[in-house]
Amino acid sequence: MSTQKERGKLRIVQGKVISDKMDKTRVVLIETPRQHPLFQKMIKRSRKIHVHDEGNECKLGDTVMAVETRPLSRTKRHRLYKIVERAR
């Protein structure tokens, strides 16, 4: 009897590639709009993540989607899911 473990929902984030200097790794900037608790103004919160790109497919300025995965190195916790839009 083969039993497969159920996987949870994929945690996917979208952002823009801001560095492609490392081999098989891209730095992606993720901006999330949040509402200020007191003034109700929309503000941008940003964070940078390291994304594993096995084939060195995406370039600087591309908009990409990354999926959360097991730790691949000290800083990498995401891998490239797909390229949404190429840089011009």
CATH number for 46: 2.40.50.140
Q: What is the DSSP letter of 6?
A: P
- What are the residues whose beta carbons fall under 8 Å from the beta carbon of 46, sequence distance 6 or more? 29, 30, 31, 32
**Alpha-carbon torsion (70, 76, 34, 14), positive or negative:** negative
The pairing of strands 12-19 and 76-85 is: unpaired
High-pLDDT (> 90) share of the chain, % = 86
Can you give the pTM of this predicted structure? 0.85
Q: How does pLDDT run across 39-65, given as a tens digit for each residue?
A: 999 999 999 999 999 999 999 999 999
Asked if residue 11 belongs to a domain, the reply is no
Is pLDDT of 3 > 90? no
- Is residue 48 a part of any domain in this protein? yes
The answer to whether residue 68 sits within a structural domain is yes
Q: Would residue 44 count as lying in a domain?
A: yes
